[in-house]
């Protein structure tokens, strides 16, 4: 799959993270793996971890340290009620944006002279 424009991805990363964590609480590296498996191969920990920290600082996520049998404790994130509301608003905004872009870039509208 081709790479993603970094600026576009930055604009939707919070929505992606909130959506994945709305499915189930998870720890950082596992979230990175899930993103990569979903087609975002270029995303790395250096992008995802700071975004998780920002979402936690904003009150959209909360975290709990969970002991791991095979190493250090892992920080598990879950979406807060505020995070769920933010995700729903962001999803609505994203869908409206995609629909607007589609209206302009659809093959039937390209080359239109009106």
Q: Residue 31 belongs to what domain range? A: 6-103
Spatial contact of 85 and 9, defined as CB atoms under 8 Å apart = no
In order of 29, 56, 66, 99, 114, the CA distances from 94 in angstroms are 25, 21, 33, 9, 27
Q: Which residues pair with 66 in a beta bridge?
A: 74
Q: Is the pLDDT of residue 1 over 50?
A: no
Residue 95: its pLDDT value, please?
A: 96
109 within some domain? no
Average pLDDT over residues 98-112: 82
pLDDT in tens, 20-73: 999 999 999 999 999 999 999 988 899 999 999 999 999 999 999 999 888 899
Residue 111: its pLDDT value, please?
A: 58
Confidence of residue 2 (pLDDT cuts 50, 70, 90): low
Q: What is the CATH number of the domain that holds 65?
A: 1.10.10.10
49 within some domain? yes
> How much is the pTM?
0.86
Where is pLDDT greater, at 79 or 113?
79
Q: How many domains does the chain have?
A: 1
108 within some domain? no
**Euclidean distance between CA atoms 52 and 5, whole angstroms:** 20
Q: Is the pLDDT of residue 114 over 60?
A: no
Spatial contact of 28 and 48, defined as CB atoms under 8 Å apart = yes
1 within some domain? no
pLDDT in tens, 69-90: 888 999 999 999 999 999 999 9
């Amino acid at each position: 799959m081709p790479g993603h424009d970094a600026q576009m991805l930055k604009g939707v990363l919070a929505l992606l993270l909130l959506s994945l964590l709305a499915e189930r609480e998870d720890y950082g590296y596992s979230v990175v793996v899930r993103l990569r498996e979903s087609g975002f191969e270029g995303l790395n920990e250096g992008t995802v971890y700071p975004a998780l920290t920002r979402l936690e600082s904003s009150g959209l996520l909360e975290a709990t340290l969970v002991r791991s049998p095979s190493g250090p404790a892992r920080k598990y994130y879950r979406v807060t009620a505020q995070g769920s509301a933010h995700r729903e608003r962001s999803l609505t905004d994203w869908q409206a944006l995609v629909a607007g872009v589609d209206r302009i870039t659809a093959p039937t509208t390209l080359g239109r002279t009106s």
